Amino acid sequence: MHILLVNDDGIHAPGLNSLHAELVKFAQVTVVAPAVEQSGVGHSITYLHPLLAHREYRQDEFFGWKVEGSPADCVKLGIMELAQPRPDLVVSGINHGANVGINILYSGTVAAAIEGAFFGVTSFALSQWLGNSAPRFPQAARLGAQLIQQIMARNPPTGSLWNINFPTWSTKDQSSDEPWPRGVRLTSMGVSRQRETLEKRIDPRGRTYYWTGLEPIHGHELVEGSDVAALVDGYVTVTPLHFDLTSRAQLMQAEANWSPLVIPPQHDQE
């Protein structure tokens, strides 16, 4: 098995390094990752200037490619040029922070997996919710590699897309003997956000500036069955996604109930 490993935190991120250490135990792994952090860039691509890729070495051995571009750039470049033979899987992560609810739409980590699915390659995005605790990337990487193998053993459709999130350790009751995480749940994407946070501040020179994105988890409604609710409850969440944004129900309703849409007669303007 050949895996293209990408992320949005950059090629030096500890989450990517931990995941690489686990994936190479059962697969050939090609790393193509951003040269610097690309968090929150979504599905942006580079086309206004050349896309540069440089060889990255660790202890005098080739480790992978660092790309001066976005996570989606890394996948496109990896599949089309750098990862040969064509990868069987695209794995993105482990992200430094959760990617659940509508925050998925902003995520460079998930965008990299979506780009893999665009190419018809089964793809996974993995993220670690931090909360108030330090990340435990080695543990998350070990579990993530196991979950990837379990999902693949079930023969999912080629080109399918999976979003996996690991809970924070800060909510664990240290006096409890209950295992942590509490288990794994298949979930839907939470789409109900109950509040936005925008913090206004003044810098030492009296200028106004703003911080956004301060409530990536707790700004969402905890809808039963959603990825947000299960993650807060201490479960690893596994959510199948699709990049087709068509509203099928609305399309069918329009086709059934609307009169045909037409272009009105055009009159030349003098």
Give pLDDT, residue 269. Answer: 61
Q: State the Cα–Cα distance between residues 63 and 14, nearest whole angstrom.
A: 14
* Tokens, residue 29: 């792994």
* Tokens, residue 141: 């990487």
Give pLDDT, residue 220. Answer: 67
2-191+221-244: what fold? Answer: Stationary-phase Survival Protein Sure Homolog; Chain: A, (3.40.1210)
Is residue 9 annotated as involved in ligand binding?
A: yes
Give pLDDT, residue 199. Answer: 86
Q: Which helix (H) or strand (E) holds 148?
A: helix 137-153
Give pLDDT, residue 39. Answer: 86
Is residue 8 annotated as involved in ligand binding?
A: yes
Asked whether 226 and 189 are in contact (CB, 8 A), the reply is: yes
Q: State the Cα–Cα distance between residues 187 and 233, nearest whole angstrom.
A: 12
Q: Please write down the HEC assignment for all residues of 69-112.
A: CCHHHHHHHHHHHHCCCCCCEEEEEEEECCCCHHHHHHCHHHHH
- The per-residue DSSP string of 190-236 comes to P--B----EEEEE-TTS-EEEEE---TTTTB---TTBHHHHHHTT-E
Residue type, 158: T
pTM value > 0.95: no
Output the tens digit of pLDDT for each of the chain's 270 residues. Answer: 999 999 999 999 999 999 999 999 999 999 999 999 888 888 999 999 999 999 999 999 999 999 999 999 999 999 999 999 999 999 999 999 999 988 899 899 999 999 999 999 999 999 999 887 888 999 999 999 999 999 999 999 999 999 999 998 877 766 677 788 999 999 999 887 666 777 899 999 999 998 876 566 766 667 788 999 999 999 999 999 999 989 999 999 999 999 888 988 887 665
Helical packing angle, 14-23 and 137-153, nearest 10°: 50
ω into residue 265 within 30 of 0, thus cis? no
Asked whether 35 and 156 are in contact (CB, 8 A), the reply is: no
In this structure, which long-range contacts are made by residues 219-224, counting pairs with CB atoms below 8 Å and at least 24 apart in sequence? Answer: 219/193, 219/194, 219/195, 220/100, 220/101, 220/102, 220/190, 220/192, 220/193, 220/194, 221/190, 221/192, 221/193, 221/194, 223/190, 223/192
Give pLDDT, residue 215. Answer: 61
Give pLDDT, residue 214. Answer: 55
Three-state DSSP class for residue 257: helix
Give pLDDT, residue 170. Answer: 73
Q: Which helix (H) or strand (E) holds 65?
A: strand 61-67
